Amino acid sequence: MKILDIALKDMLQSFRSVFAVMLMFVEPIMITGLIYFAFGGLGGGGSDGLDLPMTRVVVANQDQADATSGISAGNEVTKILQSEELADFLEVTMAEDEAAARAAIDDRKADVAVIIPAEFSKAMTVSGARATITLYHDPTLTLGPGIVKAVIDGIMDGFSGYKITADITEKQLARQGQTMGPDTLRALAISYTQWAQNQNTTEGASADPTISLRGPSGSRTPDDSPLAGILGPVMAGMLIFFVFFGGAYTAQSIVKEDEIGTLARLSTTPTPSATILGGKLVSVFLMVLVQSIVLLISSALIFKIQWGEPAGVIAMTLSMLVAAAGFGILVASFIRNTRQGGVMLGGVMTLCGMVGGLFTAGFNTPSGTFDIISRFVPHGWALDGWKLAMSRASISEVLVPAAVLLGMGVLFFVIGTMLFRKRFA
Amino acid sequence: MRILDITLKDLSQIVRDWKISLFLVVMPFMFTLFFSATSAPAEADARLPVGVVNHDPDGVLSARLIETFEGSQAIRIVSLKEAEESQVDSLIEKETYAAIVIIPEGYSRQLLAGEDIRPEVIAISDRPAGHSAVTAIRGDIKRVLSAAKGAQLSAEVADSRQPFAGDAARQAYLEEGITLANAAWDNPPISTEMKAATRIDTERSQSTNPAAQSSPGMIVMFAVFGLITSATVLVAERKSQALQRMLTTPVHRWEIIAGHLLAMALVTFLQQAVLVGLGQFLLGVDYLSAPVGILLVMAALALWTASLGLLISALVKGEEQVIIWAMIAMFLFSALGGAWFPLEFAGKAFSTIGHLTPTAWAMDGFQNIVLRGGGNGSVLMPVGILMAYAAAFFGLAVWRFRFE
């Protein structure tokens, strides 16, 4: 009973501290909220939930229409760039010439200049002719120019595909001593264009003609929102970081009580030191339990994060709690006074969070070396486990990182408790 | 002179605590190194790893598909071993591969016969690596399909003029067409090229140096965080009534505020100087191509963060509140200002609001020199806006400042 009294007193103290509440509950939600807002979570996002940035494109179309066929491929490219389908993420204006387009980028009035050369249509119609479209872009940008390049490459591949079809037909007919003629060329153009349009209109749909796309079996489907794909790991990173921080912050109360003398006063009462230490440990465990539950539920409600199947979530929550409580007690056992505590907690937790990949979760896939290093800290195993749980991996797969976390937690707990017992003996 | 005395007193109080250096210099530098390292390719080949299982090893189109994948600038293919084939889902879950492509048996034959057959692609396409890999795979397959379609159309034209003698003749004509089309696709008639608008020559270009984003980003973020130390000194003085006592001396109120403001600005400026030096000499970020411009940005950022620190210390009562508000300011201004990730990655609303923040202008100032290769003059606008923000925050702080 005394254990619970001590634990409840500590919890009450923690909940009364605005600093602790901010640190344990508000900051993880706030950081994830900022990412949510950044990537289109507060309206404005597309149907897939991801809000694509608007890229300002300036087009310098210097193309001269083919004299015989009248084809102006440059105009076709410009029309596609100005089409309604692309209007949600491309804001297209026209420049008088190449110099004006380049100046618009240099003066930061546009993000990407599409410079269509004079011989562009010729490359479409004359055998052996070639042309290159230049994309001149702001060097601080990568995503916008990447999107424009993908769009242009798609158009170029369509044009090149037609040109190559016409060229090989002409070559093969020539080998048989025949010529193509304008009617055949026109028929080829119609057939190829219809086929290419069919390829593009069904791309991404279930009837995608190029590939049959699926996610890992039993996992999310490829139709899941990209925003959820970023937010889930980000929130998992924040959950782990702040739960471990919360555990260590609560465990610090032993040091605080020692410093202000209440621990010594408590030891004059008929309370065994094992009970006092036990109460402190229970408070750490209960605090991180409450923190985890609040963060899991609130993030699921606010950001619609799907943490996974109940069995995986329970296994990960419990193992993370043991690891966070054990790690907190171990770190606190090295802290001599509360002045040292802030630096120790800040330094150790930040370092472990970094090594464990918590700050880049959702954005970067860890490379081989980072992946190996992340296994030396419980944070890395926790992130691995939550990622598996969120992707609805089988419980046997989730249990591997959960078991490692549990083992680490128990080990930290035993060492931390021994150090504290020795210190307060 | 009195202003300087107050400033020096604050500075000596701050530097006396060795632990401060952890937050002011060591931690931001660690973060810069970490984010640069995680953004940089781990291996010489930075392409995304994609596993391939080819059940159509003798097919003309599948062979071409593998060739096209091998020439890709976006993906690096790895033939899966037999043992791995049964674990494709797990390999994707563990992110060993960004995607896995399974080319079905009879792919080439059925495709040339006009039947619907597609390679199976396993990927988590809502993750950035998975999405990029799928886009690249789709583009490569479309080129192979286009070659096949071109050959088919050519064969149809030939057949319409003079029917083939039999299936073998048709097949030979088709395969010849595919060979010609593939050769043409190796050097397509129309192509695109990317050119960055920078005055920095290609050899010194920073566009591929991940530290060119993370170093200024961390400088800006920790400049805001660093105000905790100096703002705490001011709050502690108010709590201990040292500020009130100062009012009994012949020092003017404005001199006291200016002295503390100068201390805060100097701490942030020196912190930036150390981080700029580390960025220049250890991470290869070319800050010193326009030293005067960099000094101007640093000074303006220091003055703005000092004004923010003064405002926070004017509004709060205890040291813990300083930490809370400084952290909130750090998160908000860093994320909105593009210190965590470039604002171009964010949505319209976020990036529009973000571009209004002083941190976005500080990032602009740094990047105008580091990435755009602009000279000292390129920072004048960002510096001017930062100074205007500094003046506004300073005005608010003085208005709300309490000595008691």
Asked, for residue B195, whether it belongs to a domain, the answer is no
Last residue of a domain, one of B186, B201, B220: B186
3-state secondary structure chain A: CHHHHHHHHHHHHHHHCHHHHHHHHHHHHHHHHHHHHHCCCCCCCCCCCCCCCCEEEEEEECCCCCCCCCCCHHHHHHHHHCCHHHCCCEEEEECCCHHHHHHHHHCCCCCEEEEECCCHHHHHHCCCCCEEEEEEECCCCCHHHHHHHHHHHHHHHHHHHHHHHHHHHHHHHHHCCCCCHHHHHHHHHHHHHHHHHHHHHCCCCCCCCCCEEECCCCCCCCCCCHHHHHHHHHHHHHHHHHHHHHHHHHHCHHHHHHHHCHHHHHCCCCCCHHHHHHHHHHHHHHHHHHHHHHHHHHHHHHHCCCCCCHHHHHHHHHHHHHHHHHHHHHHHHHCCCHHHHHHHHHHHHHHHHHHCCCCCCCCCCCCHHHHHHHCCCHHHHHHHHHHHHHCCCCHHHHHHHHHHHHHHHHHHHHHHHHHHHHHHC
Q: Which residues of A touch B335 (CB under 8 A)?
A: 31, 34-35, 38
Q: What is the percent of chain B with per-residue pLDDT over 90, rounded to a whole number?
A: 33
Higher pLDDT, A214 or A1: A214
Q: What is the mean pLDDT of residues A371-398?
A: 88
Q: Would strands B48-54 and B75-79 be described as parallel, antiparallel, or unpaired?
A: parallel
* Residue B172: closest C-alpha in chain A: A172
**Strand, helix or coil at A128?**
coil
Shared domain check, B60 and B9? no
Strand-pair category, B99-103 with B120-122: antiparallel
Contacts of B48 (CB under 8 A, 6+ apart): B74, B75, B76, B98, B99, B129, B132, B133, B136
- The pLDDT score that the predictor gives to residue B345 is 76
> Cβ–Cβ of B189/A123 closer than 8 Å?
yes
The DSSP bridge pattern shows strands A131-137 and B190-196 to be parallel
Nearest to A113 by CA among A82, A86, A154, A148: A148
Q: Is the pLDDT reported for residue A44 higher than 70?
A: no
- Tell whether B170 and B282 lie within a shared domain: no
Contacts of B129 in chain A (CB under 8 A): 365
For residue A408, the model assigns a pLDDT of 95
Using CB atoms, pick whichever of A53, A159, A178 lies closest to residue B351: A53
- Position B275 scores a pLDDT of 92
Residue-level pLDDT at A45: 46
Q: Does A191 touch chain B (CB under 8 A)?
A: yes
**Band of the pLDDT at A356, cuts 50, 70, 90?**
confident
State residue A46's pLDDT score. 45
Whether B267 and B293 map to the same domain: the answer is yes
- Contact at CB, A210 and B141, closer than 8 angstroms: yes
**Tokens (6 digits) for A262:** 């209440």
Which residues of B fall within a CB distance of 8 Å from A234? Answer: none
Quote the pLDDT of residue A153: 86
A390 pLDDT above the threshold of 50: yes
Whether the ipTM is more than 0.95: the answer is no
Give residue B158's pLDDT. 92
Question: What domains appear along chain A, each with residue ranges and CATH number?
Answer: 2-41+225-424 (no CATH), 55-179 (3.40.190.10)
- Structural domain contains residue B25: yes
Distance between B305 CA and the closest CA of chain A, angstroms = 21
Give alpha helix (H) positions in A252-272: 253-260, 262-266
| Residue A205 forms contact with B (CB below 8 Å) | no
One domain for residues B362 and B265: yes
- Is B391 a member of any domain? yes
**Using the beta-carbon criterion (under 8 Å), do A168 and B151 form an inter-chain contact?**
yes
Give CA–CA dist B29/B219, Å, rounded.
9
Which residues on chain B are in Cβ contact (under 8 Å) with A178?
161
| B112 found inside a domain | yes
Task: State the smallest CA–CA distance between residue B259 and chain A in angstroms.
Answer: 27
Portion of chain A with pLDDT greater than 90, in percent: 26
- Residue A155 in contact with residue A77, Cβ under 8 Å? yes
Same domain, B387 and B271: yes
Cβ contact B197–A173 (<8 Å): no
Asked if residue B89 is part of any domain, the answer here is yes
Q: Which chain A residues are closer than 8 Å to B366 by Cβ?
A: none
- Distance from the Cα of B262 to chain A's closest Cα (Å) equals 26
C-alpha span between B369 and B291 (Å, rounded): 9
Query: Quick one: three-class SS letters along B159-175?
Result: HHHCCCCCHHHHHHHHH
Shared-domain flag, residues B232 and B175: no
Is the pLDDT at B58 greater than 70, yes or no? yes
User: Residues B271, B376: one domain?
Assistant: yes
Partner residue opposite B27 with nearest CB, options A168, A217, A350? A350
**CATH number, domain at B74?**
3.40.1710
Gap between the Cα atoms of B294 and B276, Å rounded? 9
* Chain A residues in contact with B374 (beta carbon < 8 A): none
Based on the fold, state whether residues B23 and B104 are members of the same structural domain: no
Which candidate from A44, A111, A163 shows the least CB-CB separation from B347?
A: A44
Whether residue B238 is found in the same domain as residue B383: yes
Chain A environment of B328 (Cβ under 8 Å): 30
User: Which residue on chain A is closest to B35 by alpha carbon?
Assistant: A360
Residue at B205 is within a domain: no
Give the alpha-carbon dihedral of B215, A244, A11, A274, to 10 degrees.
-140
Whether residue B34 is found in the same domain as residue B174: no
Residues B77-89 have pLDDT tens digits of 999 887 788 888 8
Interface test with B, best of A21, A36, A134, A140 (most B CBs within 10 A): A140
Residue A232's pLDDT band, with cuts at 50, 70 and 90, is confident
User: Does residue B165 carry a pLDDT above 50?
Assistant: yes
Q: Express each pLDDT in A258-297 by its tens digit.
A: 888 888 888 788 888 778 878 888 888 888 899 999 999 9
Among candidates B118, B149, B346 on the partner chain, residue whose Cβ is nearest the Cβ of A212: B118
Mean pLDDT of B71-76: 85
State which H helix or E strand residue A18 sits in. helix A18-21
Could you say which residues from 382 to 421 on chain A have a Cβ atom under 8 Å away from some Cβ of chain B?
388, 391, 393, 397
Q: Do B154 and A350 touch (CB under 8 A)?
A: no
Among the listed ranges A39-48, A79-88, B107-116, B371-380, which one has the minimum average pLDDT value? Answer: A39-48
Q: Which of A215, A359, A388 is nearest to B131 (CA)?
A: A215
Is B141 in the same domain as B61? yes
Answer whether residue B202 is part of any domain: no
Residues A205, A217: Cα–Cα separation, whole Å: 19
Q: Specify which residues B51 forms β-bridges with.
A: B78, B100
Q: What is the pLDDT of residues A74-86, one digit of tens each?
A: 998 899 899 888 8
> Is A124 an 8 Å CB contact of chain B?
yes
> Which has the higher per-residue pLDDT, B243 or A98?
A98
**What pLDDT does B152 receive?**
92
Q: Among B152, B186, B220, give the residue marking a domain's end.
A: B186
Number of A:B CB contacts under 8 A? 313
Give pLDDT tens digits for B255-311: 888 888 899 899 899 999 999 999 999 888 999 999 999 999 999 999 999 999 889
B-chain residues within 8 Å CB-CB of A213?
Answer: 121, 123, 125, 134
- Token digits of residue A180: 């193509």
Question: Cβ A133–B193 below 8 Å, yes or no?
Answer: yes
Q: Does residue B375 have a pLDDT over 50?
A: yes
For residues B105, B111, B115, B120, the Cα torsion angle rounded to the nearest 10 degrees is 50
In a domain, B227, yes or no: yes
- Specify the pLDDT at position A220: 45
Compare B345 and A289 and report the one with higher pLDDT.
A289
Averaged pLDDT of chain B: 86
Residue-number span of the structural domain to which B115 is assigned: 48-186
> A53 vs B344: CB contact, 8 Å cut-off?
yes
| Structural domain count of chain B | 2
Band (pLDDT 50/70/90 cuts) for residue B202 is low
- Does residue B93 share a domain with residue B10? no
